[in-house]
Amino acid sequence: MKRHLCKTVLRFGKKSTVFMSTKSNCPNCKEQQQQKRNFTTLEVVKESEVINQPEQYKRIFLDGVDDSTKHLIVKGLWARVCRGRRDHPEDFSHLGENSENKVVFMFSSDGLTTILNKMVLEENNGNGNNNKKKHLYDILRALGFEDKVIHEEVEQNKKHFELVIISGDAFCQMTKCVIELATWEGVFKAVKKLYPDLYPHIEKFLPDLQNKTYEEITRDSGFDFFEILTKGLEHPKFLTEEKLMKIIKEREPTLVEVRAFLYFDVGLRELFRGDGYTLMNGEKRGFKEYLVENVERKQIEGAYQVIPFDL
């Protein structure tokens, strides 16, 4: 039998390697043309890629991956969405916008994995090239930001959002901070540690906070929490630690006042449900979220990367 030259192509992402050999049963042989229908190019697919460094995450978020990657897995990373004005560098000195706040929210690898697989791989498949801004909005919604808050911050307050990617191990080693799952139990553990003078006066409200919704607690308060939030610290009902302590010196606080303090000072907004997950518009569960002390970024220098959100 006449021997024909056989070509086999191995593909690795966008690169390919060609091997030539002689075989009597070459699938391209005219004598065995019927086998050509069943011949498929041997393609080596990189099914998944593990991301465990902030620099690696930032690179993939901004530049994408090759076509061979079908799934991205993030491990050992934490993240925080920060916001502030570029002409106010103090807005970005801590993990939280307000350096006076003692606690902030972060989310972990499960949320970061979802973000990459939705945003980067959709763009690879040709579905996201013109929708990057939409993806950024979707990320903020998944983290519990309501549309009215995003609009207020971007359009009226001229603030910028950014995603801070942090090495979990390095963060814990460098700050000695304890990370609590954002359940009501986790909230009160954080309050007990960071607000020791307030804790004895508010711990009795834990059952009510667990069993009543935000709407039920604030319905008869006589004021709109979000409206006060937009007016800022100067508003008398914008309850901070200092203002709540003044109330406590005169009398015990009410449930509404405690919820207001948790809303304004701790950051438990309308969508907080205390089950450890963010809540998106429309009551859809988002990512797992955690509470951590609001540390200065210089404390974790070299352990994080910043990704700006161009909204």
Global pTM exceeds 0.85: no
Query: Using CA atoms, how far apart are residues 82 and 91, in angstroms rounded to an integer?
Result: 9
Dihedral pair phi/psi, residue 183, rounded to 5°: -95, 175
Find residue 166's DSSP bridge partners: 78, 304
- In whole angstroms, give the CA distance from residue 76 to residue 166: 9
Nearest to 253 by CA among 201, 216, 187: 201
Average pLDDT over residues 276-299: 86
Burial class (CB in 10 A: 0-12, 13-18, 19+), 134: exposed
Distance spanning both ends of the chain, measured CA to CA? 67
Beta strands in 195-303 (DSSP E): 277-280, 284-293
CA distance 280 to 138: 9
pLDDT at 168 > cutoff 70: yes
Closest CA to 107 of 171, 187, 182: 182
Q: Are 140 and 115 in contact (CB under 8 A)?
A: no
Whole-angstrom distance, CA of residue 41 vs CA of residue 150: 48
Residue 126 has a pLDDT of 54
CA distance 253 to 261: 10
Q: What is the mean pLDDT of residues 80-85?
A: 90
Q: Which pLDDT score, from 0 to 100, does residue 46 have?
A: 52
In the chain, what percentage of residues exceed pLDDT 70?
80
pLDDT digits (tens, 9 = 90+) for 131-166: 777 778 888 887 778 788 888 888 888 888 999 999
